[in-house]
Structure 1
Amino acid sequence: MCGRYAATLPPEMMVELFNLLNKIDFPPRYNIAPTQPIAVIWEQQGRRTIQLVRWGFVPNWVKDPREFSLLINARAETMAEKPSFRDAVRHGRCIIPASGYYEWMKGKDGVRRPYYITMADGSPMVFAGLYSNWSGPSGEEVDTACIVTVEPNLEISSIYDRMPAMLTGEAVELWLNTREVDVKAATQLALPLPPGSLRYHPVGKAIGRADAEGPELIRPLSDEELAAEEVKPVKPKKVASGGGQLDLF
């Protein structure tokens, strides 16, 4: 699962990297959590734009989002079959730019520790995503999205059993092209990255708090700092409904 990530790319860089028609002022974020606004990119009629949407997918057929489960991830292997996602796989594919993401690994001592995961070459991550536009009975509209996940590659398998589907090169163009790239072809784009593509390092357990923010969250911990944190283990803080990390798969 991917339940926390960072996005620090400047708006101008995203416009250039992804050939966008618009720009949004989105400050650097180091601890993006479910239900918060996230920047996503989609393509409609050949026009590629970036939008702020809610992280937590709501299918357009849901009557009341408040009574619907929080869907922050979609399994690539089953997304085309699941009622919640199958329409979005056909018509609502998007990408989600990121600088890195966090995952918790349980050590041999049973203690879970957070790691920050980035591209090995320092390039931005491009998560495969799905989006939906929900319209309410009173005319209200909410755009929502989720991150597609896949089996882990060699590096991540030692940390967790899932990872975000990350797109590179031509796969970005094909994923966004819902006019010409069908569901079967799109699902074949959501694959684990080759071994050697990622790197990771331990970070402080403050990342478990949804209100934690700032560049210090991605700073690698020294051996001394790791030892100090192990003296008094701190479990990730659970957030009330609507703001927590939930794995629904």
Structure 2
Amino acid sequence: MCGRFALTTTPEDVMDAFGLHELEAFPQRFNIAPTQPILIVGEGDAPQTGSNLPSRRAFLVRWGFMPSWVKDPRDFPLLINARSETAIDKASFRNAMRHRRILIPATGFYEWYRPSKESGEASQAYWIKPRHGGIVAFGGLVETWASADGSEVDTGAILTTVANGAIRSIHDRMPVVIEPQDFSRWLDCKTQEPRKVADLMRPVQDDFFEAVPVSNLVNKVANVGPEIQVAVSSPAKADTKKQPKPPSGQLSLF
């Protein structure tokens, strides 16, 4: 599961990484939480004449996927993640997997190791970032939900997969990472049916991320500064037999 992530790079770096023509300025965000706006990249209009950039555009969606057929969001769970193994066939995500695959720029994500009560160990938060820095692209889905009064909101979810060897001792799930050479195939919903891109929804190589133990400042959505990514000493020992749970108590959606 991915319950928090960060995007602390510049708009120019995002434009270069994702082949965008333009992108409005945005602040560094160190603690992005569910129900908040997130930046996503999807297929867009035709490229400008003479440009070698692909037809992509970036826009904001609410983090918390809402299928179009939901009548009352108060009666539907907040879907911040979608399991890649079942998203192709699951009713909530099936249409988006076929028609609305996206990329979610990030500079890393947070995960929590939750030990068993019997172990006597404390919970430990980790800042998980690309080992060599830079931007990572999470695979995601987007859907536009319309209320009875005609108002609309774009909503999104991060696809997850089984954790790789480096993350498994902290949590059993991790975000799907789409590598740059696969951006076009992932975003091409016209010719690339979901099963044709299923091979992209796999754990990233073990040496891609590094996990940095951090303080519990990240637990509170009100803490949004760089101090939440400062490493701490003596992290809790990971128990590979325990499947931890992410923090609860996130903001309500509507």
1:103 partnered with 2:111: yes
Give runs of aligned pairs for residues 26-175 of structure 1, distance below 5 A: 26-44=26-44, 47-107=55-115, 108-175=119-186
1:180 partnered with 2:191: yes
- Counterpart contact for 1:6–1:30, Cα < 8 Å: yes
Give, in whole Å, the separation in 2 of the partners of 1:237 and 1:152.
18
Evaluate the alpha carbon distance shift between residue 238 and residue 161 of structure 1 in structure 2; reply closer, same or farther with a 3 A threshold: closer
SS for the counterpart of 1:188 is helix
Letter in 2 for 1:60: S
Which of 215, 228, 232 is 1:221 aligned to? 232
Evaluate the alpha carbon distance shift between residue 219 and residue 241 of structure 1 in structure 2; reply closer, same or farther with a 3 A threshold: closer
Give, in whole Å, the separation in 1 of the partners of 2:189 and 2:138.
16
- Counterpart contact for 2:108–2:130, Cα < 8 Å: yes
Give, in whole Å, the separation in 1 of the partners of 2:18 and 2:210.
24
TM-score (normalizing by structure 1): 0.88
Give, in whole Å, the separation in 1 of the partners of 2:204 and 2:212.
18
Give, in whole Å, the separation in 2 of the partners of 1:77 and 1:111.
31
Shift of 1:240: 5.7
Evaluate the alpha carbon distance shift between residue 209 and residue 84 of structure 1 in structure 2; reply closer, same or farther with a 3 A threshold: same
Which residue pairs with 1:233 in the alignment? Answer: none
79-88 or 130-139: bigger deviation: 130-139
Instruction: Map Cα deviations across residues 153-180 of structure 1 (whole Å, 9 max, x no partner).
Output: 0000010000000111322221111112
The runs of 5 or more residues in structure 1 that have no matched partner are: 228-235, 244-249
Which residue pairs with 2:11 in the alignment? Answer: 11
Instruction: Map Cα deviations across residues 47-95 of structure 1 (whole Å, 9 max, x no partner).
Output: 3111111000001111122321100000000001110000000001001
SS for the counterpart of 2:168 is helix
| Percent of residue pairs identical | 40
Instruction: Map Cα deviations across residues 91-128 of structure 1 (whole Å, 9 max, x no partner).
Output: 01001010110001134434211000011111211100
Give, in whole Å, the separation in 2 of the partners of 1:240 and 1:218.
20
- Counterpart contact for 2:33–2:250, Cα < 8 Å: no
107-116 or 129-138: bigger deviation: 107-116
Query: How many aligned positions are there?
Result: 234
Q: Let me know the Cα RMSD of the aligned residues.
A: 1.9
Letter in 2 for 1:94: I
SS for the counterpart of 1:163 is strand
1:242 partnered with 2:249: no
Letter in 2 for 1:123: G
Which residue pairs with 1:193 in the alignment? Answer: 204
1:25 partnered with 2:25: yes
187-196 or 30-39: bigger deviation: 187-196
TM-score (normalizing by structure 2): 0.86
The runs of 5 or more residues in structure 2 that have no matched partner are: 47-54, 237-245
SS for the counterpart of 1:157 is coil
